[in-house]
Amino acid sequence: MDDFLLRAALAGTGLILATAPLGCFVVWRRMAYFGDATGHAAILGVAIAVVLSLPLIVGVLATTVVFGALLFALTREGTSADTVLGVLSHALLAIGLVGVALAPGPRIDLEGLLFGDILAVRQMDVWLIWAGGAAVAAIIAARWNALLTATLGDDLARAGGIDPARDTALLTGLLALTVALALKMVGALLISALLIIPAAAARPFARSPEGMVALTAVLGLTSVLGGLGLSFVIDSPAGPSIIVAAAAMYAAARVAQAAR
């Protein structure tokens, strides 16, 4: 196997460590639009990183964390979450695209930012993605029972001595980290798809929350490897090809569910 394909496969595998458990919570909590909006906010982080000569992941992570905190604060004041998401998502994406276009220095590949370029990951990127993915998985595992209880309902969580706002903030931060890790691989417009589609495909066949996470991981990994194979065979963009493979599995899962 060519080195660039091996690095892409390893990077995708490391990313699944984070997207599998986090994607399940996104589906359970109906946070799909939030994941999409976080990806849009990441573009502004790229522009800030370029202007300040910072590593891209630093700018993206900082911007997405601030976005999550701002959303959390506005929704707690009583503003509708979907309204806040709609305003912030499109505003930050537009500001980010303008900032990237006006940033000094070499032109930035906007198509790569929007749709990713997993075949361009370097060895250092692979290590970084594995470290970040393992950290997200470890944190979710450590807070698993509390996160599940808070997902079932705020009142149930408070009765068990759990602060649901704290766990919501934790998921927001983990989602921001995952978006920062995935930006180079699948791009800002496709990040939420990698989070949602494998989890949605696994949901009808899971018998427990833990089983759904495991099946989501299998489907996510299959999407990554299948998408890379499709990209190699027909010379298509790798990031969108991964999402096409995931969508195909979701369609197959729906057909299997209907047949069953």
Q: All domains of the chain, ordered by start, with CATH? A: 3-193 (1.10.3470.10)
Q: Which residue has the tokens 């573009």?
A: 43
Share of the chain above pLDDT 70, in %: 92
pLDDT digits (tens, 9 = 90+) for 186-224: 777 778 888 899 999 999 898 899 999 999 999 999 999
Q: Would you say residue 20 has pLDDT above 80?
A: yes
User: What is the average per-residue pLDDT within 125-129?
Assistant: 86
pLDDT tens digits along 82-93? 777 778 778 888
* Contact yes or no for 164/158 (Cβ under 8 A): yes
**Quick one: pLDDT band at residue 172, thresholds 50, 70, 90?**
confident
CA nearest 121: which of 222, 27, 224? 224
